[in-house]
Structure 1
Amino acid sequence: MSYSGECACGSVRLKVSGDPLGTRQCWCRQCQKIAAGGPTHNAIFKAEDVEITGVLAENGWTAASGNTLTFHFCPSCGTQVFGQSSARMHLKTVRFGMLGADSGLAPQMIIWTDDAPAWAQFDPALERWPQQPPAPPPADAD
C-alpha cells in the first residue's frame, strides 16, 4: 500500500511506501495542545518508508517516559506532519490530516485516555489505554 499527501499550503509533501504498523487516536496533553484541544489521529510507519519533501520546522518536549518527543510541521501553514520519539527513531507517527482524504485509515486504538477531558467521547469498539501502550510490533522483513 502507498499513501501520499501535502500540508494545507502545499509546501510540504509526503509519500509513504508501506503499510502502517498501527493507527492511534492520542489524548495526551501535548497532543491536545497541538490539535486545538482534541486528540491527534496518527498512523505509525517505518521511518524508511516515509519520504518528505519541503522544509519542516520542529519542536519537542520531554514525555512522562523521559523520552524526547519531537513534532514536525510546516513552518508556513502550521500543518502537523509527523511526530517521533527518541526511543523509537525507526518509526514516524504521521498525522492523518497530512494524508490524502482517501487514505482509508482510521484509529485502531485510543491512547492516553487518562488525560482526556471529561467531555471526550471514545468509540467503544476500539481498544483503550489509560496511558502509553507498548510500541507496535515490528513489521515482517520482506
Structure 2
Amino acid sequence: MASYQGGCLCGQVRFSLNAEPVASRVCWCRDCQKLAANGTANAIFPTEALHITGSTSAFTSTADSGNELRRRFCPTCGSHLFADSSGRPGMTVVRLGTLDDPSAIQPTANIWAASAPAWACLDTALARSDKQPPPPGQATLR
C-alpha cells in the first residue's frame, strides 16, 4: 500500500496518506493563483486515507465551478494543505509541495488552463482541461 507523509512549514500540522492518489494535476484557476501566485500542484485522495495530527483552520468559498470549497491551512504558519469540494464528496485535495517528498507524485494534467496567465509554463505533455474537469475516471482530458 502506498504511503505518503507531509506537513506545514512550521511543523505544527503533520499528515499521512495511506492510498494512491485518484488524480494529480496542476490547477490554474484564479483561486489557486491567488493562493500560490502561480498554478498549484495537487493530488486528490480519498478523504478516509488522510490522517492529520495538529489542528487546521479553514476558509470556505464558492469556486468558479460553482462548487463550495473548504480550504484547510496551518493556523500558525499559514501553509495551505488541503481542500475539500462539494463537487467531490469523499475526496480531499492535497498540495504536493506539502509532501515530505514532493517528487513522489507527478501531475498528469493541467486544469483550468484557460485561466493561466500568458507567462505560465504549461507542460504540453500533460493532459489539458480549459475549465473544471469531470470527476476522476469519468472522462478523458484533451
Identity of aligned residues (%): 46
Instruction: Please name the residue that 2:11 is paired with.
Output: 10
The residue matched to 2:104 in structure 1 has which SS?
A: coil
Q: TM-score, normalised by structure 1?
A: 0.92
Instruction: Please name the residue that 1:23 is paired with.
Output: 24
Q: Is the 8 A contact 2:8 2:74 kept in 1?
A: yes
Instruction: Please name the residue that 1:114 is paired with.
Output: 114
Aligned partner letter, 1:112: W
Aligned pair count reads 137
Deviation at 1:89, TM superposition (A): 2.4
Deviation at 1:13, TM superposition (A): 0.5
The residue matched to 1:123 in structure 2 has which SS?
A: coil
Gaps spanning 5+ residues in structure 2: where? none
Measured in 1, the distance between the counterparts of 2:103 and 2:3 equals 9
Runs of 4+ with deviation above 6 angstroms = none
Instruction: Please name the residue that 1:78 is paired with.
Output: 78
Q: After superposition, what is the alpha-carbon deviation per residue over 1:47-81, rounded to whole angstroms, capped at 9, x for unaligned?
A: 00001111101112112332201110001011111
Measured in 1, the distance between the counterparts of 2:10 and 2:63 equals 30
Q: After superposition, what is the alpha-carbon deviation per residue over 1:9-35, rounded to whole angstroms, capped at 9, x for unaligned?
A: 000001000000010100000000011
Q: TM-score, normalised by structure 2?
A: 0.92
